[in-house]
Structure formats: structure tokens, C-alpha cells
Copies of this chain bind each other. A is one copy, B any other.
Amino acid sequence: MRSAAKSSAAKPRRRATAPKPYHHGDLRRVLIDAALQLVGEGGAEAVSVREAARRAGVSPGAPFRHFPSRDALMQAVAEEAQRRFRAEIEAALAAAPGDPLGRFRCLGLAYLRWAMRNPTHFEIISSRRFFDHDRADAISRDNAELIELTERTLAEAFAAGQLRPADLKQVQIAGRALVYGFARMNIDGHFPRWGVAGPEAERTAEAILDLFIEGIASRP
């Protein structure tokens, strides 16, 4: 009930009172945060548009002003998660040693650690069923850069004579299958039947990564 003139560069910043929640705020952002929280609490399946709306204090239909579908909301959540994932991997790489194979190991370790510690967020960026990855440019880009990074590191290791002769593309896919498989076994609850308890998992992750690297390394 305010006739506050519509100045062209209007910034509906803040009111002294808060008569109605989120009529003014960034609902899009609030919905993404609520969904991120829901993913953390109960996994991707626990995300419902209605629950996100409830937590944001808006009506069931309101989110559809900002996201055309549940999938679009999930995609926004995945973009956020993917950003964090990539940031952590690049941070780990910045602190990595100079030799290429050692850096390859750091890449794998950072991948595994983030996946182990953020299983539900990892799942949402890894599983195809939550949104259409082909239409998620930011995620595809982040992903492609990670793949290229691994490719370069592996090529450098080979050039430095650290690898035994092999098809590098296959080494790369095998390495990815290994770490993805391990992360997925965690998400999918396989470790109890493998006798790997929670705290042990990260040490085991390191062990199987080293086993793989020994397998591809040139041996004296």
C-alpha cells in the first residue's frame, strides 16, 4: 500500500518493517538455498518444489515464476554444487607437487574426498535423471574443463616418462570409472557389505587410487 514512485533504477532494498516475507527479496536465491539444504538433509529425492516454497514462506505456485519446472530448480542446485566441486579440486591442484603423476594423484584424491564428504550433492551433479545435462551449459563447461585438466596432466606424466606404454584415453576413462565407481559405491550404500566402515572409507579411497597409479606407472 505504498505508492512509492517507480524510479527507473528502483532498488527495492529494505523496509523498516517486514510486512510480508519475500515479496521483495530474491526468491530465486532463497529457493535454491532451500533446495540445497533439502539435498543435504535427505538427498535429491527429498527436494520438492512445494517444500522449497514452504521453507521460503511462499505459496506452491510462486516458484514457477522463477523456475519453469522442478528440473530447472534442480539444475540451479546442481550448478551451485558443481561450482563448489570444481573450486575445491582447483584449490587442491594449486597446492599439488610439480611432477605430473603426483598432480594426477592429487586430482583423484580431491575428487574422491569431495564426493565422500558431499555425497548427496555429488549425486545430483552426477546422475542424469534430475535434469537435462545437454541443456545445462555451465555444468557441461565445468565438467569438460575437469576432463581436459586430467587429460593434460596425464599427457604430461607420459611425456615425463612416468607412465608405462598405454592408450592414454583408456587410462583416463579407467581412472574416472575407478573414482566414480568408488564414490557411487558410497552413495549407493555398498560399503557396509564390503566391510568398509565410514571413517575407513577415505583411507580406502586413497589406497585404491594408489593401487591404480602403481598399475599405470612405469616401473624401474
Contact = CB atoms under 8 A, between A and B. Distances in A.
A173 B208 contact: yes
Chain A, interface SS category: helix
A71 to B, nearest CB: 13
A185 interface: yes
A179 B188 CA distance: 15
Interface in A159-201: 166-167, 170-171, 173-174, 176-182, 184-185, 188-190, 193-194, 196
Nearest to A211: B174
Contact of A193 (B140, B167, B196, B216): B140
A204 B179 CA distance: 17
A61 B153 CA distance: 58
Contacts of A182: 173, 177, 181
Interface of A: 43, 45, 126-129, 133, 140, 143-144, 147, 166-167, 170-171, 173-174, 176-182, 184-185, 188-190, 193-194, 196, 204, 207-208, 211-212, 214-216, 219
